[in-house]
Amino acid sequence: MNPNSFQPNESTQTMESLPIAMNAGRQSIVVRAPTLKVYERWSQFENFPRFITPVREVRRIDDTHFSFTCLRDGKERKCVVRVLLRIPDQRIAWRTISHGFASGVVSFERTFNQDTEITLRIRSIYNPSTLSQRLEEYLRNFKRLIEDSAPTV
């Protein structure tokens, strides 16, 4: 799919076609790993299914567009995500450009002891009551993924 030629149809939704009731969530976690490693792992979007439970598959379309397959309300859904900003070792921002609306930013900050604090902020039309809980779960999963893969001394 060429993201520049995306045309909404009856099987997709855009911001203009939805009554928007935005939900926002923000969670942070400290990961025992250097910021460079943490940023690099997060920026590998194809690995999202390993820590974001509803994500089943991510395929790269080009350098800034990715096709996500997610399970929501017991149904498989697809959407295209556009990466809006990448500041190496600091921040990644994105938004969906098809099928509903969600946007987010993840920030990486080195702590005084060389660990990394990750802050994840999401705005979405989905999961109003559970958004913050889900973000916390995804960050815990990511922390385990990073820390469990750390070499032992």
> Does a structural domain hold residue 122?
yes
Provide mean pLDDT across the span 44-48: 96
Q: How far apart are CA 32 and CA 147, in angstroms?
A: 6
The boundaries of the domain holding residue 48 are 23-148
Number of domains comprising the chain: 1
CATH number at residue 52: 3.30.530.20
Tell me the pLDDT tens digit for each residue of 63-112: 999 999 998 888 898 999 999 999 999 999 999 998 778 899 999 999 98
> Does a structural domain hold residue 107?
yes
> Does a structural domain hold residue 18?
no
Q: How far apart are CA 135 and CA 120, in angstroms?
A: 7
CA atoms within 13 A on the CB side of 11: 6
Q: What mean pLDDT is reported for the chain?
A: 85
Q: How far apart are CA 63 and CA 24, in angstroms?
A: 27
For a pLDDT cut of 90, what percent of the chain falls above it?
A: 62
Contact yes or no for 145/29 (Cβ under 8 A): no
132 Cβ partners below 8 Å, 6+ apart? Answer: 25, 26, 27
For a pLDDT cut of 70, what percent of the chain falls above it?
A: 80
> Does a structural domain hold residue 84?
yes
Q: What is the pLDDT of residue 151?
A: 60
Provide mean pLDDT across the span 39-56: 95
pTM greater than 0.85 (yes/no):
no
